[in-house]
Every structure is written in C-alpha cells, then in structure tokens.
Structure 1
C-alpha cells in the first residue's frame, strides 16, 4: 500500500485551502501538499484531493481507467471512500483520467434548484495545465480575461461546458489536476476559443 499524507490533518487542511483558492480564483494554478507517491493513474494532486475530500459519507465515482484495484484499495484504506458504480445524485466527486472516454457533463449530477451545491465536482487528470490550446476564460474571480491552455481535453468537453453554464445556479464544477498542481473551473466561468 502506498503511503498517504505524512500529516493527515495539516496536509488535508493545506490541500483544502489550495483547492478553495483555485476555485475562487479560476485559472490560477495551485501546487498542493501531496503524498510522495500515488497509485497509477492518479497524479499526486488527484490523490491529495481524494484524501482530503472523500470519506465514508462522501462517495466517489471513478472512470474505468482510474478504477484499478490499487486505486480502490488506496482510497478505501486512507480515507474510507465508498466507490459508486453509477454517478447518480449521491456522487459528490468524480475522478477521470481517460479523457478519450470522458462522458458528457450531463452524465453527472448538476444539483437541483433547492440545493445546487449538491452537484458533482469533477477531478480531471490532464497532460498539462499550460501546454494546450489557449482559451479565454472570463467570469467571477478573474480580472478581465485569462488565456488558459489545458492539454488533452476533448473538444466535446468545451461544447458541454457551454451547456453546463446555462444550468446556473446548477451545474458541475471541475478541478483539473496534473502532477502536484490543480486549476479550478467553476460553473460560473465562460470559456471561449
């Protein structure tokens, strides 16, 4: 079994603060205090998010590429996470590492009118947070516009993102991960090519 955090309490608090900052200020890359290793295909940042955000009361959905026996054992052992097979209303977080087989955003729970905060947050493993095709991001937490280049995202994701924004205040949020870094994309952000 690969180790989790060196200091579970302080490390998870640091990760939580960094993810909140990444979500409050979309497009700003945050480097996380993360485990020294993570089971493949999880990046150290994705593992840190799972260790911080998942527990027995906060189930996860893993795409087929991520749901290896090693990853499932790691998450059960370190945070007691329940892994659900269907991304229904109970799933608060989904972890995706196979971008070629990424389901549409409508596959995930968008929350409801009374509780839009009960939507699914996607943790999406990408090749790079800076080396992809540049897109303009605008919205709350961004002064003016930002040019963001996330590598490896299918074009269909960006079309789905436009539809997701139309659901506001409902809709999914996304945290992109790469190595030890995260970048937040909340549902309020407009993305243009």
Structure 2
C-alpha cells in the first residue's frame, strides 16, 4: 500500500487560515482569497481543494467525488485518513462534493438542495478550476457585492450560467459553490444573482 502524504504542517494555524479564507470568500462573492496550499495530495485532487477538505470535512460529513477523483483510489483514501469522513456515491447524500473536471460536472440540481425549513442541509460544492479569469464572464450582484462584480472562472460547463441562475431561483434552498484555484479560493453562495452580460435581467 503506498504511503499517504501528510496533511497540514501546522494544522491549527492552517485550518484557521483556510476557514477564514472560505468565510471571507462566501461573504464577498467572486473575490479571491489565498489559502495555505503547501500540500501534496494525490492527483488530481488539487492542493487548494485538499486544504478545503482538511478544513471542512469530519466524520459526520459524507463527501462525493466526481469521476475524475473517484477513479483514483488514493484520493478517497487520503481524505478518509486525514478527516475521518466517508465517501458516498450519491451526490444527494453529500454534505460536500468535490469535482476536478468542471466540464463533466452534473447539474447543480443533482446535489442536495436542502429544504425550506433546513436549507443548511444542502451540498456545498468544491469545484477545482485552473484560473479565476478567462472563462465566461459572469456579472454578479446581490449580498456581499457592491453594485456589480465580474467573475470569470475557467473552465466551467458551457451552460453553467443557466444552471447558476436556476440554483439562485431555488433560494433559500440550493447549492453553495467554492472554487478551488491555484493557491486561492472564491465562492458563489446560492444567494448571488447571476447575469452573463450587463443587459441581462438578474433573476
């Protein structure tokens, strides 16, 4: 059995720093925040996504992996060893979902949406991206956005903007998304309104 690569060198400091970065990113949709990424998780799990996993997962939080991650047994083994969390093959049962191949991402409606009484029971999606620029420009508005903000993560599915608007339409239910890029994270909470150009109506 291959050796399991280590987790954070300074677990308390690095976990706190990552958690603060996530909270700041959720509070300011489309803005990036640096995370400790001096990790060597099994590929294709990225260091940033691994930092989020170490911070957010525990034995009570089942996680789902997309096909790119699930086909590498060492990824689930690394996550289970360091966090105690258990994998699930059903995205609707996942508290957190990890996707390394954005172009093969299932529709956001495939994940747990929560309920009007318990919207916090929805899935949080951690989506690995190569960059926070260069993709389809998304014009963001709503809580945490002063006026409007343009966010263009890359790559994303071709119909991502449509799926995001449908996700916002399910508020207070719906999925929150954390983008894991090189050394940084950004977020789109379900409350964020999405347009693909300034003449689109927010909905």
TM-score tier by shorter-chain length is over 0.9
- Please report the TM-score for the alignment, with normalisation by the length of structure 2: 0.91
- The 5 Å alignment of 1:79-158 reads 79-88=83-92, 90-158=93-161
User: Runs of 4 or more off by more than 3 Å in structure 1?
Assistant: none
CA distance, structure 1, for counterparts of residue 73 and residue 99 of structure 2: 15
Task: Give the deviation of 1:191 after TM superposition.
Answer: 1.4
**CA distance in 1 between partners of 2:19 and 2:158 (Å):** 30
Q: Note closer, same or farther for the CA distance 1:109–1:122 as it changes in structure 2 (3 Å cut).
A: same
- Structure 2 counterparts to residues 1-193 of structure 1, below 5 A: 1-67=4-70, 68-88=72-92, 90-193=93-196
Unpaired stretches in structure 1, ≥5 consecutive residues: none
TM-score normalized by the length of structure 1: 0.95
Distance, in Å, in 2 between the alignment partners of 1:35 and 1:74 is 15
Distance 2:48 2:195 in 1: 26
How many residues are paired up? 192
Contact preservation (8 Å) 2:8, 2:14: yes
CA contact (8 A) 2:112 2:123 kept: yes
Structure 2 unaligned spans of 5+: 197-203
Residue 178 of structure 1: CA displacement? 1.1
Instruction: Output one character per residue of 1:90-124: Cα deviation in whole Å (capped at 9) or x when no partner.
Output: 41100011122211011001100111011001000
Does the 8 A contact of 2:39 with 2:50 survive in 1?
no
